[in-house]
Structure 1
Amino acid sequence: MTAPEHRAPELPATRRARLLLAGVLLSLFLAMLLARALGEAGLEQTALFYVGVPALVAVTVTLTARPRTAVGVALATTTIGLALAGPLLDEGVVCLVIAAPLLYGVAAAVGVAVQRVRERGPGGRAPALVAAPLLAVMLLEGVGGVSLLPREDAGSASVVVDASVDEVATALASAPDYGPFRSAFLRAVPFPHPVHAAGAGLEVGAVREVEFTPRRSLGIGAEPTPRAMALEVVRSEARDDGGAVVFAVTDDTTLARWMDLHQAEVIWWAEGTGVRVTWTLRYTRTFDPSWYFGPVQRYATDQAAAYLAATFTPDGAR
């Protein structure tokens, strides 16, 4: 009869690695479960999603795996979650790129806070008691219509062109020739790009049908879906020294997942030897938290307004 074999005791490093892997997998599972639940409840655009999910990842990894570098593991787990979000949650590139800095920031901040509380014991809980109510307030943004900042906002851009008032009006009334984005931000995200427009005229009732590059979801087996925007002139004014036109957005499958764009206004007036043209895009912010998505969406619409100002500049004035 042979003596039973004795296994060598598990090394601390091996045990720590197994625990870390279990913590990472558990946090990802809970995060995906929470994301699905929030999506079913219609809360996927609230702070409960964009703050709650990375916070859950950081807390779960830190408390279950107890890594030496909680922040590093939380960020690595968030990266894996972002990589899985596209195929499993059918998210697009724009949403993931825009949300990534927020998700990383929340994961890092919560990871640091939980790590310090764990290391300092009861004496380190005071900062957590202060941070917990703040986190709770942040999580409530978007739930039940709660918002710290106004949802109605606008982006604008102005340019002076070397042209006459009539030449500017003619350019605005004609179908544009859309060029590439000049803005590094619009190119990097990347935002949908207009490729073709049908319709002309500045009289009230004139319509525009604008075709954009298709949406390319990262979902498994997802096919590119067409995107377009329909606009109608609802106010038009023309004078010898300038004018103003307001386009109402009547249908939008381009930015609907990103914001509720409802109006575009362009005004122009003689200034010196040229004409000043100002574009204003009015929209309703649909994503929370407001302190993050508010400035991001405002900057994006500022850049989009600048693109329109350059696009509708008369050929001889470019």
Structure 2
Amino acid sequence: MLAGIVLAVFAALLAVRVTRFGGLDQTALFYVGLPAMLALLVVLCVRVRGAGAVAMAVTTVCLLMAGPMLGEGMVCLVISAPLIYGVVALVAWVVGALRRTDRRHSNALLAVPLLFALALEGVAGFSLLPREDAGTGSVLVGADPADVAAALAAPPAYAAPDALLLSAVPFPEPVEAVGSGLEEGDTRVVHFTPRRTLAPGAEPTPRHLGLEVVESEVRADGGRVVFAVTEDTAFANWMRMERAVATWRGEPDGTRLTWEIEYTRTYDPSWYFGPVQSHVTDLAADYLAGTFQREAQALSGGDAR
């Protein structure tokens, strides 16, 4: 019975994720509904005292089997793992509690579909929280505004991210940028680490992000430049990148540089992926700020602050 459940759920998960059928792989139905159904099936079908533990074990097996085959989808599984385990544990606990309380009141199991109602978020475009959001990172640069502007105008040298989450989860990492200038119409193409999968015969796929300066104001005491995303093969599977805004202003101790990354969330449930994507984007904005801080201070001969 357990083997059949594992194989059936694994096949369903893999089919939906790989074929992206109906866009369901980005909805709460995939990250809440499927784990809830898995837990419910295991707890109801496995007649042992440790049915909840079995449900968690089956979930782990499914995740381990699916992850290596999903390529960059592994990022989604890693990020959503706490949500999936939480849903499975909750359903297993509710069903177990109902069983222990009074077997004659089996109709109480109808309370479980309330959880499935939350799983419908995103299926028809409905979202509890706004989809538009922005991540922000700010740093004090030990250089004057002119050096910061010069650093922003040139392709930076990217380093490995310091944030544990960005380095532990297999997000795309920037490798190099092509293009320069801060005038309207100037462009950048940022190349990222290639996409890799374990599919037979699969070759690494290049990933990049195209940017164009659509607003520019450069002054002696600071400035603001807006980069619009024109093409995205790096993050499009997780979010819709909109704009990146760099703002800098002179201060007594240096120059305050702030990066803001504007995006549209495409994953549900919003109450989980909203805060997660917001935090990750904040880390990415901090990474950008730190990158150009090093570049500007190298131009001025200063040290990182």
Q: Is the TM value for this pair above 0.5?
A: yes
SS of equivalent to 1:210: strand
- Equivalent of 2:76, from 92, 95, 99? 95
Which consecutive unaligned segments of at least 5 residues does structure 2 have?
none
Q: Which residue of 1 aligns with 2:49?
A: 68
d(CA) in 1 for partners of 2:141, 2:8: 55
Provide closer, same or farther for how the CA distance between residues 52 and 260 of structure 1 changes in structure 2, counting only shifts above 3 A. same
CA contact (8 A) 1:217 1:224 kept: yes
d(CA) in 1 for partners of 2:201, 2:261: 35
Q: Which residue of 2 aligns with 1:194?
A: 174
Q: Which residue of 2 aligns with 1:14?
A: none
Q: Which residue of 1 aligns with 2:263?
A: 283
Which consecutive unaligned segments of at least 5 residues does structure 1 have?
1-21
CA contact (8 A) 2:240 2:265 kept: yes
d(CA) in 2 for partners of 1:64, 1:206: 61
Offset of residue 56 of structure 1: 1.3
Offset of residue 70 of structure 1: 1.9
Alignment of 1:29 onto 2:8: yes
CA contact (8 A) 1:24 1:77 kept: no
Provide closer, same or farther for how the CA distance between residues 89 and 60 of structure 1 changes in structure 2, counting only shifts above 3 A. farther
Q: Which residue of 2 aligns with 1:5?
A: none
Alignment of 1:55 onto 2:40: no
Alignment of 1:106 onto 2:94: no
CA contact (8 A) 1:31 1:56 kept: no
Provide closer, same or farther for how the CA distance between residues 219 and 149 of structure 1 changes in structure 2, counting only shifts above 3 A. farther
Offset of residue 28 of structure 1: 3.8
- Equivalent of 2:197, from 196, 217, 222? 217
- Report the residue type matching 2:12 in the other structure: L
Alignment of 1:296 onto 2:252: no
d(CA) in 2 for partners of 1:255, 1:270: 33
Q: Which residue of 2 aligns with 1:155?
A: 135
| Number of residue pairs the alignment of both structures matches | 295
d(CA) in 1 for partners of 2:129, 2:264: 11
Alignment of 1:166 onto 2:170: no
d(CA) in 1 for partners of 2:67, 2:80: 12
Q: Which has the higher contact order (CA 8 A, sep 6+)?
A: 2
d(CA) in 2 for partners of 1:230, 1:162: 29
Offset of residue 117 of structure 1: 1.7
Structure with higher Rg: it is 1
Offset of residue 67 of structure 1: 2.6
SS of equivalent to 1:205: coil
CA contact (8 A) 1:43 1:49 kept: yes
TM-score by length of 1: 0.87
d(CA) in 2 for partners of 1:221, 1:61: 36
- Report the residue type matching 2:174 in the other structure: P
- Report the residue type matching 2:113 in the other structure: A
d(CA) in 2 for partners of 1:251, 1:302: 21
Offset of residue 295 of structure 1: 0.6
SS of equivalent to 2:95: helix
- Report the residue type matching 1:300 in the other structure: V
d(CA) in 2 for partners of 1:27, 1:64: 12
d(CA) in 2 for partners of 1:258, 1:34: 17
Provide closer, same or farther for how the CA distance between residues 67 and 27 of structure 1 changes in structure 2, counting only shifts above 3 A. farther
TM-score by length of 2: 0.91
Alignment of 1:260 onto 2:240: yes
Offset of residue 33 of structure 1: 2.4
Offset of residue 23 of structure 1: 2.8
d(CA) in 1 for partners of 2:129, 2:77: 23
d(CA) in 2 for partners of 1:262, 1:138: 28
Alignment of 1:83 onto 2:74: no
Instruction: Provide the alpha-carbon RMSD of the alignment.
Output: 1.9
CA contact (8 A) 2:217 2:225 kept: yes
Offset of residue 32 of structure 1: 2.6
SS of equivalent to 1:148: coil
Provide closer, same or farther for how the CA distance between residues 35 and 117 of structure 1 changes in structure 2, counting only shifts above 3 A. farther
Provide closer, same or farther for how the CA distance between residues 302 and 43 of structure 1 changes in structure 2, counting only shifts above 3 A. same
d(CA) in 1 for partners of 2:125, 2:183: 37
Q: Which residue of 2 aligns with 1:13?
A: none
Q: Which residue of 2 aligns with 1:305?
A: 285
d(CA) in 2 for partners of 1:164, 1:248: 26
- Report the residue type matching 1:169 in the other structure: A
d(CA) in 1 for partners of 2:270, 2:136: 19
Offset of residue 68 of structure 1: 1.4
